[in-house]
Amino acid sequence: MNKAGQAEKPAAAGPPATPETPEPDPKRWLALTVLLVATFMDLLDANIITVAIPSIQRDLGASTFAIQAMTAGYTLSFAVLLITGGRLGDIFGRKRMFLVGVGGFVLASAMCAAAPSTDLLVVARALQGLTAAIMVPQVLALIHVSFAPQEIGRVVSLYASMVGLAIVSGPLIGGALISWSPLDLGWRSIFVVNLPVGVLALIGAAKWMRESSSPHAKRLDMVGMLLIVVGLLLLMVPLTLGRELDWPVWSIASLVAAAPVLVLFVVYERHKTRKDGSPLVTLSLFKVRAFGAGIGVQLLFSAIPAGFFLSWTLYLQAGLGWSALHTGLTAIPFSLCVPIVGGLAVRRLSPLYGRYCLLAGAVLMLAGILSYAWAADRFGTGITSWHAIPSMLLIGSGMGMLMPPLTALVLREVQPQEAGAASGIINATGQLGAALGVAVIGSLFFAALAGNAGPQAERVVPTVQSVSPRQASDLQDCATEALGQDDLAKVPDICSTLVQGADDGTRDTINGALGEIRAKTFVSTYSETLYWAAGGLVPVTALVLLLPHHRVRREDLAR
């Protein structure tokens, strides 16, 4: 407990919630279980829908735009309200808002499962994101005010491990549910599974969680909320949808317009601080070195895993034809390393070596990404899950050494009364970084895919036997056009005409050649994209060196 926290305690004029500096809650570890389950449920739903897209398209006749809206609707509504959700917890009580968020998430999940049309499914997904934005910021805030400082690191490592596990296991669990289809629910089972889990989380939270709120900032900053929502929408919408829509003019205009709106938000928050001391975001947080520099690292670093796993999934499933289950199993080394190394980093490495632990994490991730690029190029279309193990171990170990200590470091000097707002900022920064990673690395991937299709077709087509010169020319045009579009599932007209116009034997030859071109194009594209992703870790390492260098002696750590 720091002196600042002790000095501020008497200022709390007997709020109904638990004070900010209580004795450790004896049920805090049980409450943590509920918080981690809620975190897993949110992140699982953010990623699980990708494997259900073909089933939804068949069942509801969903268009490509509707599918994009289902994914983007959740991401956007979640990201733009995270900061507001964190502040609502500070004002009205974090346990109360957590219960509201979980309850709303369960109801929205039921709406998704029962949706009879794509329009209603899109609306329900957006509601899921809104309720998650109320629920999720309370997690780190409750951790921050419920656990002693010496416990925070270990708890945050568990939190970061759950985040990594949920991200990677989404396709695996989704694929298993859709294949099993309990009660013949099909794709609806990925939403139904939230109902019992959410109800158990509600019961556990009500029974084990202790209420806390901030004695400050008792007024709602409605103008600040409006400005940050508009500013983040202007920023996030084009980042989320721009690539799929081929960056129309409005997306560029939206990105440009976001800057003045966010500047206006900062100006207004300064005015609100001087006026009544109740801003949505306490800007003085960014004057704290650990928080300001840590948020910068969070923004840039979050982009790398998001972009890596997007291109990785496309490479394995769309390129090499792996199933979602096979892909998910390949990520097991990553999923194991994040919690194991993360726990070691928080308990031993970060206290002993300070920011050098985070620096080592960035270097390990860099080595893992580069080694995967080499393996993809070396083994080509014959790569197996076994070949990926060393790279996945390095990437998971690097993420474990960087993310849990970083989150603990960012929260280290945050006052308890600002825990909700700080948690909202941390989560929103992670979402923005992930959107940047998907937009930038995704654009690089698809641009390289279109550029590599022609050269790969030129290498493969001359080796194809039993096709006429016209068919060989059309085969090359088909491959180039199919791999040059954003919707890789769409079949160009020239491909349909080519396949339908061939006899049975030639048709098999053409399909085999197209598959070979596709696989080789994805292999070369993935290797190329990984080098760009590795380059993104360079500024991360530079920002890590700006973080405060907290270290303890070995003998003190042993005690």
Report which residue type is found at 536: G
Residue 98 burial class via C-beta count within 10 angstroms: exposed 0-12, middle 13-18, buried 19 and up: buried
Please check whether residue 3 lies inside any domain of the structure: no
Give the pLDDT confidence score for residue 255 in this predicted structure: 92
Give the range of the structural domain holding residue 249, as residue numbers without chain letter. 222-281
Q: Do 212 and 235 sit in the same domain of this protein?
A: no
Q: What is the pLDDT of residue 415?
A: 76
pLDDT tens per residue across all 559 residues of the chain: 443 444 333 433 444 444 444 566 788 899 999 999 888 888 887 777 767 777 887 888 877 677 777 877 888 888 888 888 888 888 888 899 999 999 999 999 999 999 998 889 989 999 999 999 999 889 888 888 888 877 776 787 777 777 767 766 776 787 778 778 788 888 899 899 899 999 999 999 999 998 887 666 567 788 988 998 899 889 888 887 777 777 889 999 999 999 999 999 999 989 988 888 778 888 888 887 788 888 888 888 888 888 888 788 889 888 898 876 787 788 888 878 887 888 788 888 888 888 899 999 999 999 999 999 999 999 999 999 999 999 999 999 998 898 888 887 887 777 777 777 787 788 788 888 887 887 788 888 888 888 888 888 888 888 888 778 888 888 888 888 888 876 677 788 888 888 887 777 788 888 888 888 889 999 999 999 999 889 888 888 888 888 877 666 555 555 5
The per-residue pLDDT for 338 is 81
Residue with tokens 């972009």: 307
> Looking at the domain assignment, is residue 353 inside a domain?
yes
Quote the pTM value. 0.79
What's the pLDDT at 360? 94
Note whether residue 511 is domain-resident. yes
Q: Cα-flanking dihedrals φ and ψ of residue 282, to 5°? A: -80, 105
Q: Residue 310: enclosing H or E segment and its boundaries?
A: helix 289-313
Position 14 in a domain: no
Helix (H), strand (E) counts: the chain:
24, 0
User: Is the domain of 322 the same as that of 442?
Assistant: yes
pLDDT of residue 258: 93
Q: Please identify, among 241, 257, 281, the residue that sits at the C-terminal boundary of a domain.
A: 281
431 occurs within a structural domain: yes
Residues 270 and 193 in one domain: no
CB distance 417 to 216 below 8 Å: yes
Based on the fold, state whether residues 173 and 199 are members of the same structural domain.
yes
The answer on 440 and 340 residing in a single domain is yes
Looking at the fold, whether 435 and 523 belong to one and the same domain comes out as: yes
User: Quick one: pLDDT at residue 2?
Assistant: 42
DSSP 482-526: HTTSS-TT---HHHHHHHHTS-HHHHHHHHHHHHHHHHHHHHHHH
Report the Cα 349 to chain-centroid distance in Å: 26
Domain identity same for 387 and 478: yes
Q: Is-contact 43 166, C-beta < 8 A?
A: yes
Question: Distance (Å, rounded) from C-alpha 43 to C-alpha 78?
Answer: 11
Q: Which helix (H) or strand (E) holds 472?
A: helix 469-482
Q: Which of 217, 238, 257 is the last residue of a domain?
A: 217
Tokens of 203: 């019961």
Q: Is 465 helix (H, G, I), strand (E, B) or coil?
A: coil
β-sheet bridge partners, residue 272: none
- The answer on 446 and 301 residing in a single domain is yes
Q: Which of 201, 217, 233 is the last residue of a domain?
A: 217
Please indicate, yes or no, if residue 521 is contained in any of the structural domains: yes
Judgement on whether residues 361 and 499 belong to the same structural domain of the protein: yes
Identify the H or E element spanning 172: helix 149-180
Torsion angle of alpha carbons 286, 291, 297, 301, nearest 10°? Answer: -110
Residue 251 in domain: yes
Which helix (H) or strand (E) covers residue 87, if one does?
helix 82-92
Question: Do residue 261 and residue 307 come from a single domain?
Answer: no
| Number of domains within the chain | 3
Are 427 and 546 within one domain? Answer: yes
Token couple for 316: 């394995």
CATH code (residue 83)? 1.20.1250.20
The verdict on 375 and 274 lying in the same domain is no
Q: What is the per-residue pLDDT for 8? A: 39
Assigned domain for 2 exists: no
